[in-house]
Amino acid sequence: MGPIASCSSSLYTALIFLVICRGISGATFTFINRCDYTVWPGMLANAGTAKLDSTGFELTPGGSRSFQAPPAWSGRFWGRTGCSFDPSTGQGSCATGDCGSNEMECNGAGAAPPATLAEFTIGSGAQTGTQDFYDVSLVDGYNLPMAVEPSGGSGACGSTGCATDLNRMCPTELRVGDGQACKSACEAFGTPEYCCSGAYGSPSTCRPSVYSEMFKNACPRSYSYAYDDATSTFTCVGTDYSIIFCPSVAR
Q: How many domains does the chain have?
A: 1
The dihedral sign for the CA sequence 177, 181, 185, 187: negative
Band the pLDDT of 209: cuts 50, 70, 90. very high
Among 2-6, 46-50, 148-152, 177-181, the least confident range: 2-6
Q: Which domain holds residue 117?
A: 26-245
Do the domain assignments include residue 3? no
Report yes or no on 12 lying in a domain.
no
Q: Is the pTM higher than 0.75?
A: yes
Q: Which range among 5-14, 200-209, 237-246 shows the weakest confidence by mean pLDDT? A: 5-14
- Here the CATH number for the domain that contains residue 170 is 2.60.110.10
Q: pLDDT by residue (tens digit) across 76-106?
A: 999 999 999 998 999 999 999 999 999 999 9
Contact 216, 243 (CB under 8 A): no
pLDDT in tens, 212-236: 999 999 999 999 999 998 889 999 9
3-state secondary structure at position 136: strand
Per-residue pLDDT tens for 156-203? 899 999 999 999 999 999 999 999 999 999 999 999 999 999 999 999
Asked if residue 20 belongs to a domain, the reply is no
Domain membership flag for residue 21: no
Evaluate whether residue 95 is within a structural domain. yes
> Using an 8 Å Cβ cutoff, are 200 and 114 in contact?
no
Asked if 222 contacts 136 with a C-beta cutoff of 8 angstroms, the reply is: yes
147 in a structural domain:
yes
Q: Is the predicted pLDDT of residue 1 greater than 60, yes or no? A: no
